[in-house]
């Protein structure tokens, strides 16, 4: 019998989960829940229903895992605890500073209702967190580095779009090569924000807009750009569509550490991702963890979990025997 | 109270475990068991005993985890099932083809005696296996690549040393740059053995030895060198000591996969290690898993496990709260 999956929220992430479920033969997408009018939401899976979100509770016994594809700012802090009362759930909550609070809320709801919830699943938080954790456990004496990019930051793109005279914009975050080289060389550099990443903006302006003012507003914007070296390119709407319509991302997690009685030996652990589609990769990670939630729930486990708590084998469709024979 | 560690076998790996235990304040090395005369074995930890291996059973209730540092060819197939009757144990069994059989033997012994055994811990098998497994679960449609090196292969170095007229030798395994570049470019190449790695030998000969014959014998040696492009350098004993006395190693695990309804998006997951000391890094991984064995045993778990079965958080000295706040 397949693992019956529901998706709540059908944006880029929800659509990515739909695609990922199709790649996993032991899973079946049963329903997509939307806050929009279901008649206006076209999904790709012919055998799945599109339902108004108000009907989700009716599916309580017809889904094994509900995947929450809303945003971290306002959706997930409400949705994950709410739906953890009815379903095993997965979310990609990524507001790092608020994870402890979110964990506590979700844990209480899930435990009370004997459900499994896995939060903050994706690549950062998610696979990057896992790699930071493994590397720290293996090399207790060392230094961590995380670089993001080259990739599109939605938050920074939105910030540029809010500037008067900007019609559309795309912002790329880019690791600084020399910083990365210093880390790889085992130099354990102390890197400022400016030394780690640069930012590159591609901006389409309204007719007659003052480009000099827009460039200055971008480069001096506190939190978003002021602490970085930012390059601004003004391009046409056609160029933006043609060259910048993808949502690539990626990055690197490194730990540089020492071993030996006198700490005489150096080691470098590096994990990197190069992703054509940030939401589809995030969705693929989430979908693998949906399998783990399903299995844990069958084992009688309940409560909130993160990637740190999940034994790797639970993610794989293969049995323990197959994994040991083929991948160990 | 500290986790009380014992080491069985005091070669490079055992010494590496000793160094790693020192880096983990929640652990204490209590005893090193040796087949040699204990009076001739000098260890670094002043507070630990050196005991003949025959006395190991007497330590049954004085150690939380016994780390087996013998070889995979003859030591571990006997030792791990034997000591899993008395102790929670960890080994680094690395004969990939025999892992299922070893697992079964160790599992039976450990379960019967309510002990936890974690086998095949290190970096390959070990961290490389984990990365293959995670990447396969996340990207079900894709292709795996593992490259080893640049690093010293003990087995290949030994094979060269067995040739008549060779006094000493060191062999390096080296990934082929162009193969790695093709994988990173998402070309999904089909690579022959020769296309993936080259081999480089540094050889010290006996006086008057026939170097041409030695070079030919190396390059044509079946299994070890015949399928590779092998370069042979003849050097002096002093040069070998000066330039090749380390035991560096490393390598890369890559998975290149696709997502999307039409498989239209490519992704590359890459994990790499650059290690000054192969045995010390292996020992550091093993030591982290000793913590997991200790905790699982306290939870009442028993039987044989591999890295696939161990929730990542069990490796870390930090609590779940600390991990979520600092590394997620």
Render the burial of B255-288: b for 16+ CB within 10 Å, e for the rest: bbbbbbeeeebbbbbbbbbbbbbbbbbbbbbbbb
Which token pair is B162? 């067995």
When CB atoms are compared, the residue of A19, A130, A267 closest to B281 is A267
C-beta atoms of B138 and A285 within 8 A: yes
C-beta atoms of A280 and B259 within 8 A: yes
Q: Write down the H helix ranges in chain B.
A: 12-22, 75-83, 99-112, 127-138, 154-161, 177-184, 193-196, 211-219, 237-243, 278-298, 320-326
C-beta atoms of B140 and A273 within 8 A: no
- Phi-psi domain of A206 (left: phi exceeds 0; alpha: psi -120 through 50; beta: other): beta
Rounded Cα distance, A286 and B86, in Å: 41
Strands B89-90 and B65-68: parallel
Residues of B in contact with A282 (CB under 8 A): none
C-beta atoms of A317 and B140 within 8 A: yes
Q: What is the mean pLDDT of residues B217-231?
A: 96
If one counts every other C-beta atom within 10 angstroms of the C-beta of residue A200, the result is: 17
Residues of A in contact with B136 (CB under 8 A): 316, 327
Q: What is the mean pLDDT of residues A301-315?
A: 98
Count residue pairs from A and B with Cβ separation < 8 A: 221
Which pLDDT score, from 0 to 100, does residue A1 have?
81
pLDDT-above-90 percentage for chain B? 99
Rounded Cα distance, B233 and B169, in Å: 10
Residue A10 pLDDT more than 90?
A: yes
pTM tops 0.95, yes or no:
yes
C-beta atoms of B288 and A100 within 8 A: no
Which pLDDT score, from 0 to 100, does residue B1 have?
81
Rounded Cα distance, B12 and B207, in Å: 30
Which token pair is A44? 């790709």
Residue A83 pLDDT more than 90?
A: yes
B25-39 pLDDT, tens digit per residue, is 999 999 999 999 999
If one counts every other C-beta atom within 10 angstroms of the C-beta of residue B317, the result is: 15
If one counts every other C-beta atom within 10 angstroms of the C-beta of residue B135, the result is: 23
Residue A189 pLDDT more than 90?
A: yes
C-beta atoms of B276 and A267 within 8 A: yes
Please list, in sequence order, all residues whose beta carbon lies within 8 angstroms of the beta carbon of residue B39, skipping any fewer than 6 positions away: none
CA-based nearest residue to A29, from A55, A49, A53, A11: A49
Mutate which of B255, B308, B310, B314 to test chain A, going by most A C-beta atoms within 10 A? Answer: B308
Which pLDDT score, from 0 to 100, does residue B37 have?
96
Rounded Cα distance, B169 and B206, in Å: 11
Q: What is the mean pLDDT of residues A43-71?
A: 97
Beta strands across the sheet bearing A197-205: A151-152, A166-175, A197-205, A229-234
CA atoms within 13 A on the CB side of B295: 18
Which pLDDT score, from 0 to 100, does residue A105 have?
98
Residue A2 pLDDT more than 90?
A: yes
Q: Which residue of A has its CA nearest to B282?
A: A138
State the average pLDDT for chain A.
97
Residues of A in contact with B315 (CB under 8 A): 133-134, 137-138
DSSP characters over A270-320: EEEEEESBHHHHHHHHHHHHHHHHHHHHHTT--EEE-GGGS-GGGG-SS-H
> Is the CA virtual torsion A274, A277, A283, A284 positive or negative?
negative
Strand partners, B92: none
Which token pair is B222? 């079946």
DSSP designation for B210 = -
Mutate which of A259, A314, A317 to test chain B, going by most B C-beta atoms within 10 A? Answer: A259
Which pLDDT score, from 0 to 100, does residue B251 have?
98
Rounded to the nearest angstrom, the minimum Cα separation between A208 and chain B is: 37
Q: What is the mean pLDDT of residues B167-193?
A: 97
Rounded Cα distance, A197 and B298, in Å: 45
A98-126 pLDDT, tens digit per residue, is 999 999 999 999 999 999 999 999 999 99
> Prior bond to A150 cis, omega within 30?
yes
Kindly state the helix (H) or strand (E) to which residue B248 belongs, with its residue range.
Answer: none
Rounded Cα distance, B292 and B65, in Å: 10
């Amino acid at each position: 019998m397949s693992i019956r999956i529901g998706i709540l929220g059908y944006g880029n992430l929800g659509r990515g989960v739909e695609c990922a479920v199709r790649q996993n033969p032991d899973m079946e997408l049963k329903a997509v829940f939307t806050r929009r009018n279901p008649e206006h939401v076209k999904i790709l899976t012919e055998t799945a229903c599109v339902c108004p979100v108000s009907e989700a509770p009716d599916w309580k016994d017809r889904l094994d895992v509900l995947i929450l594809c809303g945003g971290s700012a306002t959706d997930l802090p409400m949705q994950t605890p709410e739906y953890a009362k009815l379903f095993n759930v997965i979310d990609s909550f990524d507001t790092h500073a608020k994870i402890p609070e979110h964990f506590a809320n979700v844990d209480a709801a899930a435990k009370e209702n004997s459900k499994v919830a896995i939060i903050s699943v994706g690549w950062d938080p998610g696979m990057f967190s896992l790699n930071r954790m493994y590397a720290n456990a293996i090399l207790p004496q060392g230094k961590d580095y995380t670089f993001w990019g080259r990739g599109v930051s939605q938050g920074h793109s939105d910030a540029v779009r809010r500037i008067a005279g900007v019609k559309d914009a795309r912002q790329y975050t880019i690791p600084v090569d020399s910083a990365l080289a210093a880390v790889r060389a085992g130099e354990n550099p102390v890197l400022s924000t400016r030394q780690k990443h640069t930012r590159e903006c591609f901006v389409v302006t309204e007719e007659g807009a003052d480009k000099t003012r827009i460039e200055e507003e971008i480069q001096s914007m506190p939190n978003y750009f002021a602490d970085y070296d930012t390059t601004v390119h003004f391009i046409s709407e056609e160029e933006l569509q043609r060259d910048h319509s993808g949502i690539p991302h990626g990055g690197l997690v490194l730990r540089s550490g020492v071993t030996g009685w006198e700490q005489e030996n150096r080691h470098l652990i590096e994990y990197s991702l190069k992703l054509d589609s940030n939401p589809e990769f995030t969705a693929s990670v989430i979908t693998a963890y949906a399998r783990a939630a399903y299995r844990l729930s069958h084992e009688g486990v309940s409560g909130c979990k993160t990637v740190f708590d999940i034994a790797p084998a639970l993610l794989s469709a293969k049995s323990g025997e197959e994994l040991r024979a083929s991948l160990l």
